[in-house]
Structure 1
Amino acid sequence: MRIVLVGATGTLGRGIHEVLRERGHEIVTASRKGSDVPVDITDPASIRAMYEQLGEVDAVASAAGSVPWLPLDRLDHQDVLDGITGKVTSQVELVRQGAATVRGSFTLISGVLARDPLRTGAVASLANGAIEAFVRAAAIELPQRVNAVSPTVFTESMDAYGELFAGFEPVPVRQAANAYLRSIEGHQTGQVYEVG
């Protein structure tokens, strides 16, 4: 399959790339820099340009999305909007605009905070929950399959995030990457694959 991997340069993106490459897929990487195709998923025009450059593809795997991590009493309106743009509307646009040229499936990223919130993670919980709700709703309308992968903290990221995720059992990034493989090569739609 010819698969577009959005957010290919991050920890998860690199793990997905490795798993898909091992399965013999043709992978086109897409991110702000250091990829085959440049894209800023917070900019709908950039997403449109990416799809125009790519033409038809079999699948889109998104490992991209950013949210602010701030205590609720320090969040302002712009922080909330930035989180929604950074993780929700950006991925919704990948699906909405890709519906004309993606033949098989979309796999989006949510995360453990949709079901198990943390202090300073209110916007992350909001965004992850929104992605999961979107996937379930979009699945009943799209001819393509659409799923989300919802991992906990990665073993490889514990140095950076371990204190925040105290008591959470980390998982290797490869475990989440395998959930992407399941979504791309499988047959289900409207699913949220929880990892950890």
Structure 2
Amino acid sequence: MRILVVGAAGTIGSEICNALEHHDLIRAGRNGLDVSVDNTSEQSIKEMYEKIGKVDAVINAAGGANFASITELTPALNERGILSKLKGQINLVLLGHNYVNDGGSFTLTTGVMMDDPIRMGASAAMANGGVKAFVKAAAIEMPRGIRINSVSPNIVQESWDRLGSYFVGFTPVPASRVALAYKKSVEGAQTGQNYEVY
């Protein structure tokens, strides 16, 4: 399969590439290994698809949100989660479904915070929940047999030193385990699912 991995250089993205290394991978990101893309820019997404052409699957492991308490979370700070984590992922589907071959797939990324809230995580939880709802609804009308799923990772072991203080009482999981959920989405047959790796 020819698979586009957006966010391929990240902690989870690199493990996704390892899990799917037997496929023809196109590694994308802000500093793309094969192609550059800024998922907050519709034009950048369009140019990426035009450059790479048809693929069998699109995986997104990119997108961020600001961590701030509700009393400190401003509309401006919240905008990062909307533009990157929420709208950026959805635009990969809206602008890319014509580039995905019949019977192909999209796999987006949500996250544990929408199900198990943490302090300062409301913006990320909002974006994660929006992506999950989009995937579930979009699955019933994706064209040409294209499937769509999302993966909801827990905090990963590789990020624990940097982010663990936010996730009090959580048990981190290895990024390699999270990557298997993306493999399941791409190589499996399900659609409309949110694979929780908690």
TM-score band (shorter)? over 0.9
Residue of structure 2 equivalent to 1:153: 155
Q: Give aligned pairs, total.
A: 194
How far did residue 157 of structure 1 move?
1.0
How far did residue 176 of structure 1 move?
0.7
Counterpart of 1:134, as a letter, is F
SS at match of 1:100: helix
Residue of structure 2 equivalent to 1:192: 194
SS at match of 2:148: strand
Does 2:183 correspond to 1:181?
yes
Farther-moved stretch of structure 1 (84-93 vs 73-82): 73-82
For residues 119-161 of structure 1, the C-alpha deviation after alignment (integer angstroms, 9 at most, x for no partner) is 1000011000001000001101102100000010001111111
* CA–CA distance in structure 2, aligned partners of residues 69 and 178 of structure 1: 27
* CA–CA distance in structure 1, aligned partners of residues 164 and 72 of structure 2: 22
How far did residue 115 of structure 1 move?
0.4
* CA–CA distance in structure 1, aligned partners of residues 20 and 57 of structure 2: 11
Residue of structure 2 equivalent to 1:87: 85
* Correspondence for 1:61 among 59, 62, 65: 59
Q: Which runs of 4+ in 1 moved over 2 A?
A: none
How far did residue 169 of structure 1 move?
1.0
For residues 51-92 of structure 1, the C-alpha deviation after alignment (integer angstroms, 9 at most, x for no partner) is 000111000010000100011101111112221111000000
Residue of structure 2 equivalent to 1:122: 122
Normalising by structure 1, we get a TM-score of 0.97
Residue of structure 1 equivalent to 2:31: 33
How far did residue 34 of structure 1 move?
4.1
In structure 2, the gaps of 5 or more residues are none
Counterpart of 2:83, as a letter, is T
Counterpart of 2:77, as a letter, is D
Counterpart of 1:77, as a letter, is P
SS at match of 1:140: helix
CA RMSD, aligned part only?
0.7
Counterpart of 2:142, as a letter, is L
Residue of structure 2 equivalent to 1:168: 170
Counterpart of 1:193, as a letter, is Y
Normalising by structure 2, we get a TM-score of 0.96
Query: Map of 1:13-52 to 2, 5 A cutoff?
Result: 13-21=13-21, 24-52=22-50
* Correspondence for 2:75 among 71, 74, 77: 77
* CA–CA distance in structure 2, aligned partners of residues 62 and 135 of structure 1: 13
How far did residue 192 of structure 1 move?
0.1
How far did residue 166 of structure 1 move?
1.4
Counterpart of 2:154, as a letter, is T
Percent identity between the two aligned chains: 49
SS at match of 2:165: coil
Counterpart of 1:83, as a letter, is G
